[in-house]
């Protein structure tokens, strides 16, 4: 563990080593030597990737962020009064924009004590901590820089007051179904009897509306998608030509998830210097970079049950595009 900052109000710990940050080398070795090439989406998020994601959230077609904000603005007071939460742990916290709505509600209820942003991107944790500590009197921040698939047990123990653990934005949909349930089960270990999980899930709807959200005419999502190649070039001394790959996004109706892929526009022979590995892409060959699963209420409920959790609340926006659900550890 590296302590990145330790003051009276802010503590930030990193559980990522400076050299082997996010398991990138192993993921590249595994993912690019398979017959169907694939990389996990966490590697999008270096500083540039996090900035590109922020821009996606402002795109007219990317409805999840606005829909989830709408729900939070309507229901944050109710969620906070139901839970009595004094601590917010946010997994994949990003810019912490939505956390503010919950922190405001906790401040209004007089319970606000601590915020624990957890993200793989060091810069977003630092920025959020510095900004929020200035905005909320008496707030303590314990930031964790880590991989929530590997370092969830590094979340600091909770205090006396109930805790709300939030996984917002639809990030849970970026895991394949089996891993998703395992992840929910691990998150459940952070919950004591009075604690709650607040989970954001994008809902199944007209495929055209979903596809538009992942293929904007401005090309921001395409640049976000190609960012993973820039990350590999920089961190593993590789020579991908990102312009030789086009952005693909389509709704898989059988699985009810979006897939993002990068398709080679010509044959490419890529050297991953750090691994001494040469990877060949045929013309038209695709690399899967993300799935983003869409949910129904029944799918969320079943996932909770399979993970030892039980649904205690369900909130949607006016257009039923997105849902927030509250869950507790099953008795």
Residues that bind ligand AVI in the complex, under the rule CB under 6 A: 56, 64, 169-171, 173-174, 214, 221, 290, 292
Q: Is 149 in the site for ligand SAH (CB under 6 A)?
A: yes
Sheet holding 245-252, edge to edge: 245-252, 257-264, 286-293
Q: Residues 114-143: x/- map of binding to ligand SAH (CB under 6 A)? A: -----xxx--x-------------------
| DSSP one-letter code for 48 | H
Residue 98 binds which one of ligand SAH, ligand AVI, none, with CB within 5 to 8 A depending on kind? Answer: ligand SAH
> Residue 149 Cβ, how far from ligand SAH at the closest point, in Å?
5
Contacts of 320 (CB under 8 A, 6+ apart): 203, 205
Residue 63 binds which one of ligand SAH, ligand AVI, none, with CB within 5 to 8 A depending on kind? Answer: none
Cα–Cα distance between 50 and 56 in angstroms, integer?
10
Cα–Cα distance between 309 and 303 in angstroms, integer?
8
- Nearer CB in complex with ligand SAH: 264/291: 291
The one among 94, 162, 173, 188 contacting ligand SAH by CB under 6 A: 94
Residue 290 binds which one of ligand SAH, ligand AVI, none, with CB within 5 to 8 A depending on kind? Answer: ligand AVI
Two structure tokens written together for 221? 């999502």
Cα–Cα distance between 140 and 31 in angstroms, integer?
39
Q: Residues 50-89: x/- map of binding to ligand SAH (CB under 6 A)? A: x--x---x-------x------------------------
257 Cα distance to chain centroid: 16
Contacts of 295 (CB under 8 A, 6+ apart): 173, 201, 202, 203, 204, 323
3 state DSSP class of 310: strand
Two structure tokens written together for 289? 């970079």
> Residue 55 Cβ, how far from ligand AVI at the closest point, in Å?
10
The one among 62, 63, 136, 148 contacting ligand SAH by CB under 6 A: 148
Instruction: Tell me the pairing of strands 277-281 and 268-272.
Output: antiparallel
Residue 119 binds which one of ligand SAH, ligand AVI, none, with CB within 5 to 8 A depending on kind? Answer: ligand SAH
User: Which residue matches tokens 């922190």?
Assistant: 103
Residue 196 binds which one of ligand SAH, ligand AVI, none, with CB within 5 to 8 A depending on kind? Answer: none
Piece of 101-109, 132-140, 147-155, 322-330 that binds ligand SAH (CB under 6 A): 147-155
Spatial contact of 260 and 252, defined as CB atoms under 8 Å apart? no
Residues found near ligand SAH in the complex (CB under 6 A)? 42, 45, 50, 53, 57, 65, 92-94, 98, 119-121, 124, 147-149, 168-169, 171
């Amino acid at each position: 563990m590296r302590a990145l900052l330790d003051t009276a109000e802010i503590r930030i710990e990193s559980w990522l080593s400076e050299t082997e940050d996010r398991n990138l080398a192993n993921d590249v070795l595994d993912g690019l030597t398979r017959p169907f090439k694939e990389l996990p989406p966490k590697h999008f998020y270096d500083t540039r990737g996090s900035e590109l994601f922020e821009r996606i959230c402002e795109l007219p077609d990317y409805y999840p962020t606005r829909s989830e904000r709408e729900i939070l603005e309507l229901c944050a007071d109710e969620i906070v009064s139901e839970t009595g939460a004094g601590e917010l742990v946010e997994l994949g916290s990003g810019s912490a924009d939505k956390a503010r709505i919950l922190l405001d509600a906790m401040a209004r209820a007089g319970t606000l004590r601590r915020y624990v942003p957890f993200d793989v991107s060091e810069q977003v944790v630092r920025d959020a901590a510095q900004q929020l500590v200035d905005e909320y009197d008496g707030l303590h921040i314990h930031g964790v820089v880590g991989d929530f698939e590997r370092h969830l047990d590094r979340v600091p123990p909770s205090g006396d007051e109930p805790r709300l653990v939030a996984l917002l934005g639809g990030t849970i949909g970026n895991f394949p179904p089996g891993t998703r349930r395992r992840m929910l089960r691990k998150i459940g270990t952070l919950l004591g009897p009075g604690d709650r999980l607040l989970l954001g899930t994008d809902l199944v709807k007209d495929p055209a509306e979903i596809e538009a959200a992942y293929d904007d005419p401005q090309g921001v999502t395409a640049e976000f998608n190609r960012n993973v190649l820039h990350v590999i070039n920089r961190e593993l001394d590789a020579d991908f030509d990102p312009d030789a790959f086009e952005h693909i996004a389509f709704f898989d109706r059988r699985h009810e998830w979006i897939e993002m892929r990068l398709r080679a526009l010509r044959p490419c022979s890529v050297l991953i210097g750090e691994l001494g590995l040469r990877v060949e892409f045929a013309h038209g060959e695709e690399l899967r970079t993300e799935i983003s699963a869409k949910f129904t209420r029944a799918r969320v409920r079943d996932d909770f049950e399979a993970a030892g959790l039980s649904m205690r609340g369900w909130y949607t926006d006016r257009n039923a595009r997105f849902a927030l659900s509250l869950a507790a550890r099953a008795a």
